[in-house]
């Protein structure tokens, strides 16, 4: 069951972002987007709110795919990493 973006925001530290993703049943999921993922999504590398909002749909797509594939951390959460971004870019060479 795909997750749908509810909201996205940078953490107060400015080093990571959080996405709140909704499910049809069972409540929301919190997704961590790493600093490296934010830096790797586009050039020039930036880790800020503007970059997050510019690519929030991409991060949401990656997060939903990982959730559906049960690619969760040991804590049962989804984390979007630079590796995930690289894999997404390989599948969408003209998008990023």
In a domain, 29, yes or no: yes
Res. 95 pLDDT band, cuts 50 70 90 = confident
Using one digit for the tens of pLDDT, what is the confidence trace for 7-54?
Answer: 999 999 999 999 999 988 878 999 999 999 999 999 999 999 999 999
Cα–Cα distance for residue pair 93/47, rounded to 1 Å: 21
How many separate domains does the chain show? 1
**Ranges of H-type helices in 1-96:** 35-40, 49-54, 56-68, 82-91
Q: Is 3 exposed, middle or buried (0-12, 13-18, 19+ CB in 10 A)?
A: buried
Q: How far is CA 3 from the centre of its chain?
A: 11
Output the pLDDT for position 8: 96
**In sequence order, what are the beta bridge partners of 5?**
21
In a domain, 10, yes or no: yes
**Rounded to two decimals, what is the model's pTM?**
0.93
Output the pLDDT for position 96: 57
Q: Which domain holds residue 17?
A: 4-91
CATH number at residue 67: 3.30.160.140
In a domain, 96, yes or no: no
């Amino acid at each position: 069951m795909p997750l749908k973006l509810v909201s996205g925001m940078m953490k107060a530290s400015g080093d990571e972002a959080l996405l709140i993703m909704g499910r049809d049943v069972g409540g929301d999921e919190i997704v961590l987007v790493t600093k490296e993922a934010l830096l790797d999504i586009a050039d020039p590398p930036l880790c800020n709110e503007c970059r997050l909002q510019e690519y929030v749909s991409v991060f949401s797509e990656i997060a939903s795919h990982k959730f559906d594939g049960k690619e969760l951390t040991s804590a049962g959460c989804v984390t979007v990493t630079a590796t995930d971004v690289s894999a997404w870019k390989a599948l969408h060479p003209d998008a990023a």
